[in-house]
Amino acid sequence: IVGWQFLHVMTSSACFGEPGIGKTFIVSTWADSLVRAGHDIVLLVLCPVTIIKHAWLADIAKFTDLTATRLHEPSSYKRKEKREARFAEDSNVYIINPELFIRVEKEVKALLKRHMRAGKKIILVVDESSKIKNHTSAIYKALKRLRPLTSRAVIMTGTPASNGIGDLWSQFDILDMGMTLQPKWRDYRHDTHVNFTMRGVDYYVKKGDGIKKIPVIHWRPRARIAPTVYKWVRPHMIRFRAEDCLDLPDKQFLRRDITMTKEQEKAYAEMRDLLYTEFEGEGITARVAAVRMMKLREITGGFIITDKGKQSPLNKETPKMIELDLILDQVLGERLGDENRQPTKAIIWAQYRWECTTLNRRYRRYGSRGLYGGISHTKRDDNIEAFQNDPKCQVLVCHPKSAGHGLTLTAANYAIYYSLSYDYDEFYQSARRIARPGQTRPMFFYFLMAPGTIDEVIARSLEEKKKVSDIITDGPFNRAIFDSLALPDGQQLNIDLEVE
């Protein structure tokens, strides 16, 4: 209610809060109340593609009477025609991801101008505004050009200044066009930073017939400037913390969809066809096929195991890891005005050694430790102790068989499933590491999933509290059963697992 009232009072609003506390609900119901009161408005929502469907579209459909159009087209089939049709629709809310907005900026402007000619006012909503913290980025520049068409703006993120106060300027420039933190970046930097020449670090440029040495200048925040900046922005922001939201459910299950790369899609199709040929030749039963098809999990996780047993990544950056970066930045990053708060911690669950070791290395900046095969008992005990008691150790990467029973890991209230076990009992035990006596905060369970793949089949089995092999009727193996496992047909899953 406080956030809803804040949006009604402020002309431009910054909503800073952790994932899962209902920021999309607050903004969508606020917009619905404006429409009900007779205001002619149109919302343009800019958000990561992974939360278009399961956050924005879901909340708008569930809690409001607003009409919403997804401008992003996930399917490659007749994508151009579908997109043109969506731009022609008349809706209260249009939702688009930053990457697409950069490419279709002209079309978005035309869409908004069409509504403006009809007498409607445009409200810009930037969900996960930390995406525009770099004032030289293409997305910031595109929004800067769009902002004059809008009457007001709302920005939303959990970590507005994860790299320091320099991150704030571009976000607030889009919010209120320079009213809070100076109209120009260089003026804000002059007020809040000092520069110094880095000794022994130079670069050289050709000038005429000679070469000129130029020293490298570095900027750093002025001493004790952060509290001052916080005072500047505080009147324009509201901050939500999970522990302060008393009406939050004890457990929330949040799905994040990813789009596989072309290399992954090709490998998935090839593996799918190879498995079908093998199964058809062996004459195995449907349930045996279901278990053996778990090999497809490798590809949705971003790697394959070769014939020689070597684990080989399919891309330098896998979509699930990129999405995981965003989640961790949202839930673990330092928060403006909340520097003395007890650190948030997260457990990442993965099924393969390659996933575990890669994730453990990737998140060293969060003091990552591991509990999976190949780690000695002594090191394992040290890692558990550090995770439970060391504020600098915010991430624990685990395999369910190494950490799924008996351990108390209630220092974390976030559990993120990079890849899923096909056994419900194994999942249940992993979830119980944080859902147990001693847990005092709301818990959030994230699931990284590639739609239309084996990931959805596994999730369905977990929802039904079964093993994958138990969700199908056993009998002769056939193509229909195979396709239902390898290519689920657009299942609409709302993961709601019982963890007592």
Residues 109, 83: Cα–Cα separation, whole Å: 15
Q: Could you tell me if 290 and 472 are in contact, meaning their C-beta atoms sit under 8 angstroms apart?
A: yes
Nearest to 434 by CA among 463, 414, 418: 414
Q: 133-163: per-residue pLDDT in tens?
A: 899 999 999 999 999 999 999 999 877 887 7
Q: Cα-Cα-Cα-Cα dihedral of 95, 101, 103, 106, to 10°? A: 90
One-character DSSP codes across 343-390: PP-EEEE-SSHHHHHHHHHHTGGGT-EEESTT--HHHHHHHHHHHHH-
- Yes or no: say if 454 and 297 are a contact pair by the CB < 8 Å rule: yes
Residue 487: pLDDT over 70? no
Residue 490 confidence (pLDDT) above 60: no
Does the structure show a pLDDT above 60 at 492? no
* Domains of the chain, first to last: 2-194+223-244 (3.40.50.10810), 251-486 (3.40.50.300)
Judged by average pLDDT, the poorest of 123-132, 224-233, 270-279, 364-373 is 270-279
Q: Distance between CA 248 and CA 482 in Å, rounded?
A: 40
Report the sign of the C-alpha dihedral through residues 233, 234, 238, 244, in that order. Answer: positive
DSSP 129: G
Average pLDDT over residues 477-492: 62
Give pLDDT tens digits for 326-382: 899 888 876 555 555 667 899 999 999 999 999 999 999 999 999 998 888 889 889
In three-state secondary structure terms, 435 is coil
- Residue 347 dihedral angles phi and psi, to the nearest 5°: -105, 130
Q: What is the pLDDT of residue 500?
A: 47
Q: pTM surpassing 0.85?
A: no
- φ and ψ of 36, to 5 deg: -60, -30
pLDDT value of residue 103? 93
How far apart are the C-alpha atoms of 266 and 269, rounded to whole Å? 5
Per-residue pLDDT averaged across 399-418, rounded?
86
The predicted structure's pLDDT at residue 496: 52
Residue 23 half-sphere exposure, CB side, CA atoms within 13 Å? 27
Question: What percent of the chain stands above pLDDT 70?
Answer: 85
Mean pLDDT over each residue of the chain, to the nearest integer:
84
Least confident of 123-132, 262-271, 402-411, 423-432: 402-411
3-state secondary structure of 95: strand
Q: Which residues contact 413 (CB under 8 A, 6 or more apart)?
A: 242, 344, 345, 434, 439, 441, 442, 443, 444
Q: What is the pLDDT of residues 174-208, one digit of tens each?
A: 999 989 999 999 999 999 998 877 666 666 777 77
H/E segment holding residue 276:
helix 262-282
21 within 8 A of 245, measured Cβ to Cβ: yes
Q: Do residues 48 and 13 make contact, with C-beta atoms less than 8 angstroms apart?
A: no
Most confident of 53-62, 401-410, 430-439, 467-476: 53-62
3-state helix/strand/coil string of 38-58? CCCEEEEEECCHHHHHHHHHH
Residue for token pair 């349930």:
287
pLDDT in tens, 261-293: 999 999 998 888 888 887 777 777 767 777 778
Which of 80-89, 100-109, 374-383, 417-426 has the highest mean predicted lDDT (pLDDT)? 100-109
Residue whose tokens read 């769009």: 146
- The distance in angstroms from the start CA to the end CA of the chain is 29
Convert the pLDDT of each residue in 14-39 to its tens digit.
Answer: 998 766 677 899 999 999 999 999 99
What's the pLDDT at 253? 86
12's CB contacts (< 8 A; 6+ apart) are 152, 153, 154, 175, 176, 179, 236
Give residue 491's pLDDT band: very low, low, confident or very high (50, 70, 90).
very low
Are 416 and 347 contacting, i.e. CB atoms less than 8 angstroms apart?
yes
Q: Is the pLDDT of residue 307 over 70?
A: yes
3-state secondary structure of 278: helix
Burial call 295-332: b when 16+ CB within 10 Å, e when fewer? ebbbbbbbbbeeeeeeeeebeeebbbbebbebbbbbbb
Top-confidence range, 4-8, 108-112, 207-211, 312-316: 108-112
DSSP 434: T
- pLDDT tens sequence across 445-458: 999 999 888 898 88
